[in-house]
Amino acid sequence: MGSPPQQPAAPGARRALEAAWLAHLAAGNPLPDPNDMDATPTWARAIALTQAEEPHAAHEAWEACWRDAPYPQRLLPLALAKLTAAQVLDARGERSRAGAARLRAEAAALLAPFPPAYAGLDIVALRAGLPALRLRTC
């Protein structure tokens, strides 16, 4: 177990920092306690919009969540932002399906280090429902 990667991403370095955090977690370093994540109004709004199947508004809310969260917890709302963006692309039709599939694959990679339940979310259900996001809370 090593020391955690840096927190803020330098401009243009977000993907590299995400990869560093995923590697850090894959090496057996634990995730922080999630209790503070699901207690914010932004989190509750993102959950409600996702459950109401309003993917565009939910995507915006999840983006606000991940921008405000520290690493490594930030990976979870980022994955949800990608999943809701994939839903938006799916609604646009066949020409956007490749982009939606790419976003789902990126989301799956971001969800990999999370336990079956985290921050009030059923992560197993999220992983199982990647093609058609139906958010379930624990």
- With contact defined as beta carbons under 8 Å apart, do 72 and 113 qualify? yes
Average per-residue pLDDT in the chain? Answer: 83
Amino acid, res. 63: E
Residue 131: what pLDDT?
Answer: 47
Residue 63: what pLDDT?
Answer: 93
The DSSP result for 20-63, as a single string, is HHHHHHHTTPPPPPGGGGGGSHHHHHHHHHHHTT-HHHHHHHHH
Residue 134: what pLDDT?
Answer: 58
Residue 22: what pLDDT?
Answer: 94
What residue ranges of the chain have pLDDT lower than 70? 1, 8-9, 36-39, 128-138
Residue 78: what pLDDT?
Answer: 94
Residue 120: what pLDDT?
Answer: 81
pTM here?
Answer: 0.86
Residue 70: what pLDDT?
Answer: 86
